Amino acid sequence: MLKLKYLLIAAIFVSFCPILVQGQGCMEASSDEGVSVKGFIQPQYNYSFLGKDDDGNSLDENSFTFNRARIGFIGSIPYDISYYFFIEISPFKSPGKTPYLLDAFVTYSRLAPFAKITLGQYKSPFSLEQNTGCSALHTINRSQVVSQLASPQRDLGLMISGEIEKLFFKYNIALMNGSGLGTEDDNKGKDLIGRVVISPLEFLNIGGSYRIGKTVPTVTTEKDNDIMRCAGEIEVKYSDFLIQGEYIFGKDKLHSVSKVPIYGGCGGIIGFVTKQPGTYKKNGYFVQAMYMTKWNFQPVVKYETWEPDVDTNDDIENIITFGLNYFLNDWTRIQINYLYAAEETAAAEYYNDMLMFQIQAKF
């Protein structure tokens, strides 16, 4: 594994080279031939409102943390070859608290803009919010439905992407392992994933995503499970107003007892829930609106809902996020989010609201 000191030495060395490309990774970037160092850090403070115990003592928790800390290289090689390489350094993103490879892919663009071919590890082309760069998210957290149903967020595979400007049409289609970040395929099949976005009007984007594939059951001698995901998205950008919405539906057909993963930030698995054989449906959506003022303040309101099992009562999670983004310049912003959570549960009281503060610096 690369040690941080060697990476920083390399970063200083290449920082004098020209700047370069755009990739299916955690940052958006474009330029001419050459190589550039890119990255960002997101130090953060969280305060969780957890109520009181039976003796009246506060159960609230608070901590300084890091959401993300990333560094990498983006470059191009004559002719028509570009590359994208990023690692995650934040210890809060890895169970082993060690750096790990996040994105690493090569793109051939001789046929651009109609078709570009990408091979390596990158974000799967599913969902509007998932494919928003991590440093460009409008709220600190992605929506629960996106975290759960668009994951694994990163995977290894082959992708073809492009656009037909005259038809206001963009597409991505990929064949991927389906096993997630830095993991070899654990079955013989591959996941097929696609996303299409059309722009019938200058201020309007409408799109859809689809994924079909297989997962390995707990007892590997049993038949592989079938999974399906589909999503619809809409984005309206008029003047300084931006409105986005997305609905995602998922269906798992389990042929035997299986551990279904629960995903956390950036698509990492944070736990499992054991499910019996059967067909399980889950869905959710989010809607968010924001306005960029002339003072570089951007208020944001987001409503999201997540239902992990359509056939089970009292398991729907609804979250309203009240946010304020302040852009100090093109590279630095401050985000403040208050998350009001309301679960459909039999419990009389349920405390889990959160206040989050984050500052981001890009380079």
Q: State the pLDDT confidence band at 352, using cuts at 50, 70 and 90.
A: confident
Q: DSSP letter string over 204-253?
A: EEEEEEEEEEEE--SSTTSPPEEEEEEEEEEEEEETTEEEEEEEEEEEEE
Assign 136 to helix, strand or coil.
Answer: helix
Give 14's pLDDT tier (boundaries 50, 70, 90).
very low
The C-alpha atoms of residue 312 and residue 188 are separated, in whole angstroms, by: 32
Alpha-carbon span 187 to 216, nearest angstrom: 7
Mean pLDDT of the chain: 87
- When the candidates are 2.40.160.10, 3.40.50.280, 2.40.30.30, 3.30.160.270, the CATH number that belongs to 4-362 is 2.40.160.10
Mean pLDDT to the nearest integer, 187-198: 93
Longest pairwise C-alpha distance within the chain: 70
Secondary structure class of 50 (helix, strand, coil): coil
CA angle 356, 239, 359 (to 5 degrees): 20
What does the pLDDT read at residue 165?
Answer: 83
pLDDT single digits (tens) 304-328: 999 999 988 778 999 999 999 999 9
Taking only the tens place, the pLDDT of each residue in 165-192 is 877 999 999 999 988 888 888 888 899 9
Match 């590279």 to its residue by tokens.
331
For the chain, percent of residues with pLDDT exceeding 70? 87
201: enclosing H helix or E strand: strand 191-201
> How much is the pTM?
0.87
**What pLDDT, in 10s, does the model give residues 219-264?**
878 888 999 999 999 999 999 999 999 999 999 999 888 877 777 7
pLDDT of residue 301 exceeding 70: yes
337's enclosing H/E stretch is: strand 332-343
The DSSP bridge pattern shows strands 317-327 and 297-307 to be antiparallel
Residue 29 has pLDDT above 70, yes or no: no
pLDDT at 71 over 70: yes
pLDDT digits (tens, 9 = 90+) for 98-116: 899 999 999 999 999 999 9
DSSP 143: P
* Cα 344 from Cα 120, distance rounded (Å): 41
Mean pLDDT of 62-75: 94
pLDDT of residue 15 exceeding 50, the answer is no
